Structure 1
Amino acid sequence: MVLSGTSYTGLFRHTLDDKNRVTIPSAWRSAHGEGEQFLATPHPDGYIAILPPAEVAKLRTKIEAIALSDGSGQDFAARFFSQTQTIGFDKQGRIMVNGDLLTHAGISKDAVLVGSLTKFSLYSPDRWSRVEQRTAGENFGDLMRRIGI
């Protein structure tokens, strides 16, 4: 069976270089052409969600549907996108993440890259450890049942 679309799976531990760049696994970037744009967003749970072009397109559709007269919706869009960063891979397969996003995620030098099939995320090692603890053992099975897997 061949998976449809790009799949972001696995877990990778990398260190940021002095310019706040982190190498993205080749399996994750191989399906993307040079110049493709991703969106790095601060997630309320304290990590950085990286949305690939397909996910950005879904988000764009939702944002376009917010009426100009919807003040709360427009406020949300302005606030959300004021915190995001458009990124792409360099020739070495790295992305450069701005300091505000890294601070939000608590990442200073080491990052954990975590695939979630349609997107991937950057965590600090401490935050990722907490996710692993919350989803361990019986909790993992309960979560699978709750989302219907």
Structure 2
Amino acid sequence: MASLGKPFYTGLFRHTLDDKNRLTIPSAWRSAHGESDTFLATPHPDGYIAVLPPAEVERLYEKASQKALTDRDAQDAFARFFAASLAFTFDKQGRIGLSDELRRHGAIDKDAVLVGSLNKFSIYSPSRWAQVEQRTAGDNFGDLMRRIGI
């Protein structure tokens, strides 16, 4: 996974939450991380769970640190964002526990779709992932790739 000297997240994995609402993260994604590496799971406005690995968490930390305490809009946005977010490390079996709030936000009951996006990954309900697949099917995918310059 880390042939570029940094972790990257690719592929799609369908997993089921266990009875304690724990979700196994693919071993390929865990292999470049130590036991104490902290990730951040946060509700994305589009109805899924965005998971930021340590490097992305560090960037976000720096951004938050640069905002003045007197910047009410920034402080309100950060308070709302981090109140709904969950910092985590993997357990010994490579699982994470999802909070009820995150599961509700992502409409995740028992089944989840984990999708890599190179520098981070996301957790979708199967129905929301199906919507993404539908939006990006066929010619739409080519148009989208050209628009973002890939």
Same fold (TM over 0.5): yes
Aligned-pair CA distance for 1:4: 3.4
What is the TM-score of this pair, normalised by structure 2?
A: 0.96
Give me the whole-angstrom Cα distance separating, in 2, the residues matched to 1:58 and 1:140. Answer: 29
3-state SS in 2 of match to 1:68: coil
How big is each residue's C-alpha offset from its partner over 1:93-131, in whole Å with a ceiling of 9 and x where there is no partner? Answer: 111110100000000000000000001110000000000
Q: Which residue of 2 aligns with 1:42?
A: 43
Aligned-pair CA distance for 1:145: 1.1
Partner amino acid, structure 1, of 2:142: G
Mark the runs of 5 or more structure 1 residues left unpaired by the alignment: none
Partner amino acid, structure 2, of 1:83: A
3-state SS in 2 of match to 1:133: helix
For residues 95-134 of structure 1, the aligned pairs below 5 Å read 95-134=96-135
Mark the runs of 5 or more structure 2 residues left unpaired by the alignment: none
Q: Which residue of 2 aligns with 1:29?
A: 30
Give me the whole-angstrom Cα distance separating, in 2, the residues matched to 1:144 and 1:83. Answer: 31
Give me the whole-angstrom Cα distance separating, in 2, the residues matched to 1:104 and 1:97. Answer: 11
Give me the whole-angstrom Cα distance separating, in 1, the residues matched to 2:7 and 2:38. Answer: 15
3-state SS in 1 of match to 2:137: coil
What is the TM-score of this pair, normalised by structure 1?
A: 0.97
Q: Which residue of 2 aligns with 1:76?
A: 77
Aligned-pair CA distance for 1:146: 1.1
Answering whether residue 125 of structure 2 is matched by residue 143 of structure 1, we say: no
Give me the whole-angstrom Cα distance separating, in 2, the residues matched to 1:32 and 1:66. Answer: 29
Give the aligned CA root-mean-square deviation in angstroms. Answer: 0.8
Over 6 Å off, 4+ runs = none
Q: Which residue of 2 aligns with 1:66?
A: 67
Q: Which residue of 2 aligns with 1:92?
A: 93
